[in-house]
Amino acid sequence: MVISQTGIVAASQVLASQAGAQILAKGGTAADAAIAANAVLGVVEPGMDGIGGDIFVLYREAKTGQFYGLNGSGWSPQGMTRRRYLDRKLKTMPQAGMESVTVPGCVDGWYKMHQRFGKLPWKQLFDAAIAYAEHGFPIQEMDAVHWASPRILSSEEGKRVFQPQGRPPAVGDIFRNPDLAKALRLIAAEGPKAFYQGEIAKAILATSHKLGGAMQASDLAEFSSEWVTPLSMEYRGWRVLELPPNGQGLAALLMLNIMERFTFHSPFSADDLHIKIEAMKLAYADVEAYVGDPRFADQPVTQLISKPYAAARAKLIQPTANCSAAPGMPAGSDTTYLAVVDKEGNVASWIQSVFSLWGSGVVVEGMGFPLQNRAGGFTLDPKHPSVVAPRKRPFHTIIPGFLDKGDLHIGFGIMGGANQPLAHAQFVSNLVDYGMNLQAALETPRFTKRSSSGCDVTIESRVGVQALQGLSARGHVLDVRREQSQRMGRGNAVLFNSKTHVNYGASDSRTDGAAIPEPVN
């Protein structure tokens, strides 16, 4: 772990961690540093995140000990109706192109966090991101892999901006994005107005109109992110916090509630892994059935995370794999995550994404950033809580997490679409059940699975032959990956000890990131 009496920024790319740490050294709060680091991530990992995407935040305020939640997920355009897609003879929601684009909530989310928890001037937070976009930066190893995606080649603007040499940049190549530098300067100077009503908004609308999209000026101008109350439950004496729907954080709480009914002995045990895999299937089945935008339908959240409901669900776990988990009956792609703790003990658990790698593949002309494809989280099933409708927020995969017990306050997150809740639960179990520290909890081998159905499980080879054989004997169909696979997501975590005022940080070895402490002036 990184251990410091000053603040720490843990992000998935070292330049972003460094930029955030520099903001802390200038007197910035955890919120200030997170915005600066996130802005840099949008430059250096543009296929993962950026101003064309959404944001969710869990924030612990040191002086009050209170937790705040921010839902910065954008809504669908007014013209995005179910009939629109049915008239196009579509049976499922598109996952790319302008028809998959919802309003990006990132910039408004940044601004609301800064207004409530920031200290430094807004404009100062974008200096590093603008400099990297304007003057360039060297491509890191994992970024080079992501850059080679065919989705960014689906538009001429994408080719022009992100493959100016007619090929993906290689490791160590210097990449510049002057169009994005322009957009960031506008945001730094004018705030969110530039994005939702000003020059950037005009560019988004022009791009949408050219491609036949539904976005209108009012869809952007009238959008606002939302303060929400975090959900929480107890896991063996630790308080675990997630954000409420329309995100899937509920799945992590459901999974942990079921896991709490069992005793675990080793992260490399087939017995332990089997229980966690089966708990995941039950939790995901519930989330797939019940979660959507709570403004459009009531959802049985309280009942789903209750201990009696978890006990009933846990009884369904058998010695062999369940290949068709069903939801219960309660009574009544790609992302970036960063964690920041400042020297005062404010903690930001911060996640931001354009959804799939390179989002919709649509790059805003003249502004150098891709738009997300979050409308792909809707469904055309009229009976489902996430059926597409105007001004509705789709089902979201990105979730920040938090663990709290006594003097220990941990902000954490692990990226990777549907992987995130089960990765959260594994991280929590590593800390609580096996007594690992932050770095070990992130690095320990993980499994992943993208849905509740089927007996397939993807798992890292480091769990060992005995565990793999034991899982196969229980009926799990294993897809064994290399020792450290990005399929398992990329995580970061920070811990503030409010008794000693010592901070701890960790960054997943599956990525190019680092936990960097605030330099001492």
Q: Which residues are designated catalytic?
A: 335
What is the distance between the alpha carbons of residues 433 and 424, in angstroms, rounded to a whole number? 14
Closest CA to 353 of 379, 367, 374, 339: 374
> Do the Cβ atoms of 496 and 341 come closer than 8 Å?
yes
Phi, psi of 465 (to 5 degrees): -65, -40
> Among all chains, which residue has been given the structure tokens 């058998």?
318
Q: Which two tokens stand for residue 233?
A: 């439950």
Q: Which two tokens stand for residue 56?
A: 């969710």
Strands (E), 163-309: 174-175, 226-228, 231-235, 238-242
Angle between helices 178-190 and 199-210 (to 10 degrees): 130
Closest CA to 416 of 453, 392, 447, 384: 447
> Which DSSP string do the residues of 402-469 spell out, in sequence order?
EEEETTEEEEEEE-SGGGHHHHHHHHHHHHHTT---HHHHHHS--EE-SSSBSSEEEEEGGG-HHHHH
* End-to-end alpha carbon distance in the chain: 22
- DSSP-assigned beta bridge partners for residue 239: 234, 404
Q: How does DSSP classify residue 151?
A: G
For residues 317-329, one letter each, b for 16 or more C-beta atoms within 10 angstroms of the residue's C-beta and e for the rest, the string is beeebbeebebbe
Q: Could you count the other beta carbons within 10 Å of the beta carbon of residue 335?
A: 30
> Which DSSP string do the residues of 74-125 spell out, in sequence order?
PPPPTT--HHHHHHTT-SS--SSSGGG-----HHHHHHHHHHHH--S-GGGG
Q: Which two tokens stand for residue 300?
A: 């049985």
Contacts of 165 (CB under 8 A, 6+ apart): none
Report in angstroms the alpha-carbon separations of 226 from 52, 72, 246, 409.
Answer: 18, 6, 12, 24
